[in-house]
Structure 1
């Protein structure tokens, strides 16, 4: 049986299903009936691809805009940009708002590669130095003032930089990672555009602040709500589309992540169970680390469980376990077979990531990787958002804790950590998290008029733990 209990012959192929949604989104943009369109995207659903495609469509002003730019037919994507028109055929200039400089450079690289004749502006701070990805494209101009980028069809910058722009208005804006954007940040740039496309992942981490935000809780314009949450509370009739397929998560992970973090707006994997495999080409010694790596290669998941114990936040034994598992994947000569590499590609250090909740944990893990693991990415969930690897190792946020605070229970944190991989995810945790969750179902004070978020962290953690229990590596 296929999706939702239908016979396989009646199941729509994932590519067709995803294309239907994207076509509907582009039709919403062209119709002009709404000032905004929201697109919810699960992990690895092609969010950046949609942003690039929509940007080219708007800037070049025609269906199939990407094809017109790529083939160089007519003057589309170049001739009209001198006057800021964004291209011939009815195209309009637009602004793109991202949340970090890394996201800005990534979008510029993708957009410039897809549309090499489209003039792109990089709105930056005065001391910004263009990254190699930006310098690689001669049609990209970098400037600190929007007026200096008037000839660009597309101008891209961070929300913080756009907030400093006090003049000019663009017919269109695309807000990338809109669920990471605070509502007050949206308010500061709302006067710069007429209509907008908001794209983001509702299951990821909410915006955060280093100051107490309780005074605004329950207000419809609470600055600590995401830009999308406040937008929809004030504009409930805006169309909301949902991308239905994850092209990153394998068939072993998409159902697990969907059930745990997207219970009402589920998605499926774009690949089948036989489309990806992780092979270990070097024999192991048979210890606990080897068994965990072998479990991950066979099932896509592994739980490396340490003895139950209350520890300091920087748990040396847990940090060592994370480092050991990452290095063991390298030593076992892991090879990833996928639709991108049917013949297999080595899982090199840059294709492995280790994620944790706190920076001190990240530092402890990195110190234990040594020279052999110098190229392995180690970072917090906040900084891993939007990134993709073949194999990830996760230090569970609740491992070794005496309590379950709102920070450690936040569903978005665990969602980010467990949804970065294309092949396998190994979770390191001390035993007893289930008991901790039962003892601390919630520590937050209820707030009036605050929308209830589903799923809550307790439920999401329980769902992930229930699945990990089925792939628990045998004890040492």
Structure 2
């Protein structure tokens, strides 16, 4: 049992008001939540668990049922929501508050569903999973369900999605669009009743990738992986049929040019003489798909943990993911992959927002500044780059046009944020520059 789980169990069994657990990517956030429930279950508390999506809620419900063999888990679902195939038999679906059992209970639901119902102190404690994805305004809709709270999440992830203009709250200390844990941590009036914990270890990322991703966080964390334990390497080297083939080969060579294999690289496609393409860069989409196909054609092997280091397994299309910040680019990459072979339908291609909480042995990422002439706050938002750089277990290849360094040099941030507010755009510019320089210093840009 980890020290954080022990401290959380002590918090749950005691009378503390609010606990906030900061967690790096792939550090076992959900496992920590599930294990810490034990203290509340033993005390026969009424426990409410909130998550952001139905997929997250379904997974948490199953994991709680698997962990506690004598417990029925109540899944509070929307009317007509289908029970997913394979759901644990002790997960009980209900749709109305009138169906909620009396007495000790563990109930799980999405924040959106819970916000539509009235829970006025009906529960003893509220757990929030992936808490940094929840806006303060969303928390306020469910805060009266309990008077004690546990927030667990990754502060490096993408800020909560808000569909309205938030400029009016830019200088507010309690902006409703801000992540709920951020406001709780920043409130000095809560210092005396707040418990702050950190998960210390990333289990997903390779050793060097964890060092790279740590730059996005305001706290240090370790990697479970040892140097050289995770990697991707080619077994077969067919002749290069395209520029993407040649550059992938060079990237793999560069990754193996050090004492320990590196696990990230940046692969550049020349910018056309006539300038950057307008709209979706279809050539870059084709280029990205070619890199995925080349990884399979080279019969690459991967090691995703210590057990595979000396016996790596063959890379499959299912082991590869593609991420881009724009849906049109993702659609174009998916179409190009299917031109190579129907087997590439197994390659998940989607946005960083939808990759949160997921992982693959190998990721191919379209750099968020590729094709961008004048970076906006959206382009420079650090959460997206952090998510894109932290989904892999063995290797991640960033694909981009070769103008990104020049773009960062030519377009300095204006620092036009409201007085007293942090310069988020300036921070994004600095982290993007640092990310590129990290790879340059190690000859990992090809």
TM-score of the aligned structures, taking structure 1 as reference length: 0.84
Q: Deviations over 1:151-176 (max 9, x none)?
A: 67211111100101114511011101
- Structure 1 contact 296–424 (Cα < 8 Å) conserved: no
Q: Secondary structure at the match of 1:103?
A: helix
2: CA distance between counterparts of 1:426 and 1:277? 12
1: CA distance between counterparts of 2:142 and 2:422? 25
5 Å-filtered alignment, 1:42-441, equals 42-59=24-41, 61=42, 90-134=43-87, 137-150=88-101, 153-167=105-119, 169-234=122-187, 235-237=189-191, 238-259=194-215, 261-262=216-217, 264-286=218-240, 287-295=246-254, 298-308=261-271, 309-337=275-303, 338-339=305-306, 341=308, 343-370=311-338, 371-441=342-412
Report which stretch shifted further, 306-315 or 264-273.
Answer: 306-315
1: CA distance between counterparts of 2:426 and 2:31? 27
- Structure 1 contact 41–202 (Cα < 8 Å) conserved: yes
- Structure 1 contact 183–224 (Cα < 8 Å) conserved: yes
**Following TM superposition, by how much is the alpha carbon of 1:363 offset from its aligned partner in structure 2, in angstroms?**
0.6
- Structure 1 contact 291–473 (Cα < 8 Å) conserved: no
1: CA distance between counterparts of 2:98 and 2:238? 60
2: CA distance between counterparts of 1:403 and 1:42? 31
1: CA distance between counterparts of 2:367 and 2:285? 11
1: CA distance between counterparts of 2:418 and 2:385? 23
**Following TM superposition, by how much is the alpha carbon of 1:452 offset from its aligned partner in structure 2, in angstroms?**
5.5
Q: 1:397 to 1:274 in 2, by over 3 A?
A: closer
- Between the two proteins, the alignment pairs up a number of residues equal to 423
Structure 2: runs of 5 or more not aligned: 241-245
Structure 1: runs of 5 or more not aligned: 1-15, 62-89
Residue aligning to 1:3: none
- Structure 2 contact 22–199 (Cα < 8 Å) conserved: yes
- Structure 2 contact 251–267 (Cα < 8 Å) conserved: yes
- Structure 1 contact 356–397 (Cα < 8 Å) conserved: yes
- Structure 1 contact 288–473 (Cα < 8 Å) conserved: no
**Following TM superposition, by how much is the alpha carbon of 1:277 offset from its aligned partner in structure 2, in angstroms?**
3.4
Report which stretch shifted further, 239-248 or 447-456.
Answer: 447-456
**Following TM superposition, by how much is the alpha carbon of 1:320 offset from its aligned partner in structure 2, in angstroms?**
1.2
Q: 1:272 to 1:391 in 2, by over 3 A?
A: same
2: CA distance between counterparts of 1:202 and 1:330? 34
Q: 1:400 to 1:452 in 2, by over 3 A?
A: closer
